[in-house]
Amino acid sequence: MGTIVKRSRKDGSVAWLAQIVIKRGGKIILRENKTFERRSTASAWLSQREEHLGEPGALESVLQTKSNDNWVPTLGDAIDRYVRESNKKIGRTKTQVLKTIKDFDIAGKPCASITSTDIVAFAREKLETGVQPQTVSNYLAHLGAVFAIARPAWNYPLDRRAMQDASIVADRLGLVTKSRERDRRPTLVELDRLMKHFKDRSSATPSSIPMHRIIAFAIFSTRRQEEIVKIAWKDLDKEGMRVLVRDMKNPGQKIGNDVWCDLQEQALAIVEAMPRVAAQIFPYPTDAISASFTRACKLLGIDDLRFHDLRHDGVSRLFELGLNIPRVASNSGHRSWTSLKRYTHLRQTGDKYDGWIWLAEVTKKDPTLKFVRHGEFPRRRRSDRNIGGGQQQR
């Protein structure tokens, strides 16, 4: 019924979170948590609380108190109800963030007693776990969604102004910050090395993920990684040279945000070279793609390159080809043209991929290409751990 979780702070100190979760019929009917400086104290509180709740009628008494008019909802109750009653599906990231917040002391506080000071303390506590200020900012943003509707929807006394004040204070204190806009783009030399690495791996192990094709598609389609693996054959409009991107990332609503996006001829050619072995064009798990890309960059000595940088490169390429903002947006799916303005300063013109040798490789059909279901991917080969048999480049 109870657990104790070790929590490491940024300064090296340790705290102990004691949690009690009781379920009936698969649903949580009671949740209590408390943080202690020593494990022995947390264990003592947990044992005492479990013993009390185990007494005849004790649990029913607590639940009855929650069900009558005197029940005081906690922030954890508000989060549970938000997740349970939201008509539009909540994304996986937001769900996980809200679930994590329930592991902090603030989740056990009555809604009416939560002040901006409590929220700032939570932000500081989260930062002390070793995450970046950008991550804390995301946590406060998702928590703010609960504060926004708790009072008008359920009459839970969460003070929305307290959330707003806390966000201002957290920003001034440096506890939160906006994500830095990246301008990293892969060079042709870096891409050539990645493409050769993955083509060699694909030739040696046909059941491996065709990463060289996925990398090229990410650039020429300007699609995000999670969008690429969702695209189904039925969502392809070959004649119209466009594809339906389902659940496209959007600050307001992601689930159900399906958008038609234009395809450049190179992206369409890559799609047509893929075998129809599943409902999706690229039927591979995102975590496997991400891990494979990150591992290859490390092995090849390619620094600070992320898979998402391929999309940035693709969007930049469209501007370098001379496309205006509306036409670029029709490819990238950006709703706000303002977010594309940062690309308009690009001075390079023309297509850096004109004559790129790997384009011919990824647009030809490969009869040996196989689809392997999730969990069946082959183990890393010895050659993956020693590229070229030489020393790693730095």
Banded model confidence at residue 64, pLDDT cuts 50, 70, 90: low
The counts of H helices and E strands in the chain are 15, 6
Taking the C-alpha atoms of residue 378 and residue 208, their distance in angstroms, rounded to an integer, is 7
Give φ, ψ of 303 to 5 degrees: -90, 140
**For the chain, what is the mean pLDDT?**
84
In the chain, pLDDT over 90 holds for what percent of residues? Answer: 49
Report the predicted TM-score, pTM, of the whole model to 2 decimal places.
0.62
Joined together, the tokens standing for residue 302 give 């390619």
Condensed to tens digits (0 to 9), the pLDDT of residues 308-345 reads: 999 999 999 999 998 888 899 999 988 877 778 777 66
What pLDDT is attached to residue 69?
55
258, 247 Cβ separation under 8 angstroms: yes
Find which of 67-71, 201-205, 220-224 is predicted with most confidence, using mean pLDDT: 220-224
Residue 344, beta-bridge partner list? none
What is the per-residue pLDDT across 275-301, written as a single tens digit (0 to 9) for each? 998 999 999 999 999 999 999 999 999
Mean pLDDT across the stretch 42-46? 86
- Segment among 2-11, 210-219, 364-373 with least mean pLDDT: 364-373
Q: Is pLDDT at 87 greater than 50 in this prediction?
A: yes
In a 10 Å sphere around its CB, with 0-12 CB exposed, 13-18 middle and 19+ buried, how is residue 330 labelled?
middle
DSSP 234-300: GGEETTTTEEEETT---SS--TT--EEEE--HHHHHHHHTS---SSBSS---HHHHHHHHHHHHHHH
pLDDT for the residue numbered 7: 80
- Which domains are assigned to the chain? 1-71 (no CATH), 72-180 (1.10.150.130), 188-389 (1.10.443.10)
Cα 369 from Cα 308, distance rounded (Å): 25
Cα 4 from Cα 2, distance rounded (Å): 7
Going by pLDDT thresholds of 50, 70 and 90, the confidence category of residue 37 is: confident
pLDDT band at 6, cuts 50/70/90? Answer: confident
pLDDT value of position 1: 64
* pLDDT beyond 50 at 378: no
230, 236 in Cβ contact below 8 A?
no
Q: Residue 339: how many CB atoms within 10 A of its CB?
A: 13
